[in-house]
Amino acid sequence: MGILAAKVAIVTGAGQGVGQGIALALAGEGAAVAVLGRTMDKLESTCALVRERGGTAEPFLCDVTGTEAIPAVVDDVVARFGGVDILVNNAYSGSYGPLLSMSDDAFQKGFRSGPFAAFAFMKACHPHLKRRGGGSIVNLVTSAMVRWDPSTYGAYAAAKQALRSLTRTAAAEWGRDGIRANNIAPHALSPGLKWWTETNPEEAEEFRSTIPLGRIGDCEADIGRAVVALVGPDLRYLTGATVPLDGGQANFG
């Protein structure tokens, strides 16, 4: 039995990339995983990978920008699995580019899919986490929040910084309910980043050279396994933290 046996996890944006890696890692330690996202084919692919390894996973269609529908999605997960112990807010769809060329709607897009969606999931999951004797929330942020030059990443960094503050507040307010909340700021070889590295090999090599460990993280082995550690019993006294999973590239000090 894994360290997460009998636990139930919700992972948003789990159809590919980092979300899929986290779902696979959690399931590998025995958690039943609710795989959330906008595209059923991708969700089914993740669930199939989990099941091939002997794990349990079910797909749930969810566009996180439709925050009014999120409580019903959480209810569906609870009806299927009996509760929630772990919430991972990974889904994000934002905008990039210089501030002066960005529309208000484009700027707000990242907030709708980021802190607004996470807030809705966290509130909807709170009573279920508390009822199960506590649980763990992991929100995904970014090293762009602290990079020396956030040019063209300003809207992304702003939305993620808001999410970082939200996480810290939940850790402070919900700790007495047994609920822990932490952030991770990962670099991982998601499909998008993989495409970029293959399309721009010279720029990709320059990017890799700025990572002290010399490589871009693996979605499951590096990011997913770190999430397993965060939500597992060995780090039960850690809450309100931001953990940089970027091979030492960013300075969160």
State pLDDT tens for residues 60-100: 999 999 999 999 999 999 999 999 999 999 999 989 999 99
Residue 35 contacts residue 157 (beta carbons within 8 Å): no
**In a 3-state reduction of DSSP, which class is residue 36?**
strand
Q: What is the pLDDT of residue 207?
A: 83
H helices of the chain, in order, are 17-28, 40-52, 70-81, 104-111, 117-131, 154-174, 191-199, 201-209, 225-231
Instruction: Find the angle CA(99)-CA(121)-CA(129) to the nearest 5 degrees.
Output: 145
Amino acid letter, 145 = M
Q: What is the pLDDT of residue 147?
A: 84
Residue 141 contacts residue 252 (beta carbons within 8 Å): no
How far is residue 115 from each of residues 16, 139, 195, 209, measured CA to CA in Å?
21, 9, 27, 32
Q: What is the pLDDT of residue 253?
A: 67
Q: What is the pLDDT of residue 189?
A: 87
Whose CA is closest to 88, among 129, 41, 121, 40?
A: 121
Residue 67 contacts residue 124 (beta carbons within 8 Å): no
d(C-alpha 232, C-alpha 22), whole Å = 13
Could you tell me the pTM of the whole model? 0.96
Q: What is the pLDDT of residue 197?
A: 86
Q: Which 8-state DSSP code applies to residue 62?
A: -
Residue 47 contacts residue 22 (beta carbons within 8 Å): no
Amino acid letter, 39 = T
d(C-alpha 218, C-alpha 188), whole Å = 5
**Segments of the chain with pLDDT less than 50:** none
Encoding tokens for residue 58? 């079910």
Active-site residue list: 156
Residue 28's CB is within 10 A of a number of other CB atoms, namely 19
Whose CA is closest to 185, among 217, 238, 142, 228?
A: 142
Residue 145's CB is within 10 A of a number of other CB atoms, namely 22
Rg (CA), the chain: 17
Q: What is the pLDDT of residue 79?
A: 98
Q: What is the pLDDT of residue 47?
A: 98
CA distance between the termini of the chain: 37
d(C-alpha 204, C-alpha 138), whole Å = 28
